[in-house]
Amino acid sequence: MTIGHLINGKPVAGTSGRLGAVHDPATGEVTKQVAFASEAEVAAAVAAAAEAFPAWAAQPPARRAKVMFRLKQLVEQHQDELVRLITAEHGKVLSDAAGSLARALEIVDFACGIPQLLKGEFSENVGSGIDCYTLRQPVGVCVGITPFNFPAMVPLWMFPIAVACGNTFVLKPSEKDPSAPMRLVELALEAGLPPGVLNVVNGDKVAVDALITHPRVAAVSFVGSTAIAEYIHRTASAHGKRVQALGGAKNHAVVMPDADLDLAADALMGAAYGSAGERCMAISVGVAVGDAVADALVAKLKERLARLQVRPGADPKAEMGPLVTREHLAKVRSYVEQGVEEGAALVVDGRAVEVPGGRNGFFLGGCLFDRVTPEMKIYQEEIFGPVLGIVRVPNVERALSLINRHELGNGTAIFTRDGDVAREFVTRVQAGMVGVNVPIPVPVGFHSFGGWKRSLFGDHGIYGTEGVHFYTRQKTVTSRWPSAVAKGAELVFPTMK
């Protein structure tokens, strides 16, 4: 089976002659092929979106919201199908796939309220007979480039808000797991989106470069690694587009001496090893304040890792599935080897994990390092796998300094019973999303997601109010009518009299 594109409401097989393999990560088998779009196919998708834009933008917001209500209903009806598509191509366990879809539906819920969200402001009589008001209007053709780790959730972070605001959209999902995003777009068309409003082109860098430089594209949304986020932001901005490009992360969780260590250990297990660590909000650094805390925390994590069920994602007993590709597995394993060479203590080595029925799958067991230091590569770089490193610090000041010095600032967390310490941490830490006794502080759909420093390129986070502001432009109107206009020309700068 070959997955093609979806342009102007119709499936397109793909004509470039270039294909990519889609694997089942649990078995290593190639299950599908995906067509890589040519520049001509990208141009056709953008042209369809541009042609559909005027009529769609002119639709009343309430009418666009009705499509979002219908989309929500269809996604819920097809939940099991979508979850299995995610697991089959990404590898994450079914329960995690279901959780990511549930969180994605929060954004569709938010988009259902678009008439309220697009309301402007009005000031009567700012001058004699003069009124002033603001409008929020769509920007035009928008592009979404989404990652492999959340093939349904991240597209739903983008296109529901974009099209509800009156824009048209071209989605370029990850070529590693394209079936779930393609199915979501099919459901959106079934929900009532007219042809051309939402399109899909699959592909690689050829498609990406064609999209982010196309003169008829107005805005680009991206989620992925920091290096690519920076490239997308720099290139698309240079071509006159507004850009939100969310990059990588190295998220720290600080564990204070007064913390509930069992709660903290359970939280770190889920945050570090859930989805095999393939999350931009995964906790990959545990910062233990004091050696006593570190010793106890490492012991508890080691005990829990011994019980971690690493199995194919579709196995009902699975707690952690495989990594997405053989190449990514090799990359993560190389980081583990690097950590050993750099002198970190490898307390739990997941490289020799044995998985029933997964001999040829892309499996790595949970890995735990202790005595990691800031000079090590495994501390500095995002690993994006099931690898947790423990850094020991003497006090919360050193913990804050550690986090604030890192070039990435996506998310962070603190575990403590002390409200003063938590409040000080929240105020001073340099990260975009902060959890207090919450390990993965992904905001709910009516707030916004976005990091600081080199975790976000651009001025707006994604979804929530930030998403509405990104996908719309503000227009301010100052008006008066002829009966209020005094006779004679005024050549001075206008003032409100």
Pairwise CA distance, residues 411 & 431, whole Å:
5
Strands annotated E in 13-162: 19-24, 29-35, 122-127, 130-138, 141-145
Pairwise CA distance, residues 424 & 55, whole Å:
51
Pairwise CA distance, residues 164 & 110, whole Å:
10
Residue with tokens 């779009």: 37
- Residue 101's H or E segment, with its range, is helix 94-112
Residue 75 · residue 82 · CB < 8 Å: yes
Ramachandran area for residue 231 (φ above 0: left; ψ -120 to 50: alpha; else beta): alpha
384 Cβ neighbours under 8 A, 6+ residues apart: 149, 248, 277, 278, 282, 328, 332
Of these residues, 142, 165, 280, 367, which one is catalytic?
280
Residue 390 · residue 286 · CB < 8 Å: yes
Residue with tokens 């913990």: 399
Query: Which residues, listed in sequence order, are joined to residue 285 by a DSSP beta bridge?
Result: 252, 389
Residue with tokens 């080897």: 337
Residue 367 annotated among the catalytic residues of the structure = no
Pairwise CA distance, residues 472 & 475, whole Å:
10
Pairwise CA distance, residues 397 & 212, whole Å:
42
Pairwise CA distance, residues 22 & 460, whole Å:
33
Residue 148 · residue 172 · CB < 8 Å: no
Ramachandran area for residue 263 (φ above 0: left; ψ -120 to 50: alpha; else beta): alpha
What's the one-letter identity of residue 492? V
Catalytic positions, written as ranges:
280
